[in-house]
Amino acid sequence: MRNKVTLTLIATVGLIFSACNPYSTWEKSVVNNSSKDIIIYVSDSGGGFQFTDSIIIAPATQEIIYSFGDVVKSEATECDLYISRLTIATDSGFIVTKDIQSADNWAGDTKDADKGFDHSCVYTVTDSDIIED
């Protein structure tokens, strides 16, 4: 019984402290408004190794490629964060000319959240961003 009371007290105190902390989220999405599949490659390194993962985004769809939250109250949208890890490709014989690593090509938006901010950055590809190789 004593353990249950102690655990309940600890859980309640933890909940109170977490409810009082500011919290912000960041989310990056890619919108494919082109007529071709696009592939996003996300690379990261650690321990002397390079890791790459890919996401295929079909025409007329949107995918979240990066999302995280932090116990910090930040008003900065930071669309340039982690985009140096991204590369983009499309169907064989075509090239995406819009630089995914340029913060100027990302549209950012920040909204007030309960005790922090929700940030979103969106990179959009259209047929005019794709040329024949």
The pLDDT of residue 9 is above 70: no
| Assigned domain for 96 exists | yes
**Residue 23 is encoded by which pair of tokens?**
């919290």
pLDDT at residue 100, rounded to an integer: 96
| Assigned domain for 124 exists | yes
The pLDDT of residue 18 is above 70: no
| Assigned domain for 5 exists | no
Average pLDDT over residues 95-123: 90
Cα–Cα separations (whole angstroms), residue 19 to 11, 13, 75, 82, 114: 12, 10, 19, 28, 10
**Residue 30 is encoded by which pair of tokens?**
């890619």
Count of domains forming the chain: 1
| Contact (CB, 8 A) for 16 and 115 | no
| Assigned domain for 16 exists | no
The pLDDT of residue 61 is above 90: yes
| Assigned domain for 10 exists | no
**Residue 125 is encoded by which pair of tokens?**
């590809």
| Assigned domain for 36 exists | yes
| Assigned domain for 13 exists | no
Give the separation between CA 40 and CA 55, rounded to whole angstroms: 5
pLDDT at residue 6, rounded to an integer: 46
Give the separation between CA 15 and CA 30, rounded to whole angstroms: 34
Question: What would the pLDDT profile of 81-106 be if each residue is shown by its tens digit?
Answer: 889 999 999 999 999 999 999 999 99
Residue 61: give the domain boundaries.
Answer: 23-132
70-100 as b/e, with b when 16 or more CB fall inside 10 Å?
eeeeeeebbbebbbeebebebeeeeebeeeb
pLDDT at residue 2, rounded to an integer: 54
| Assigned domain for 86 exists | yes
Cα distance between the two ends of the chain:
71
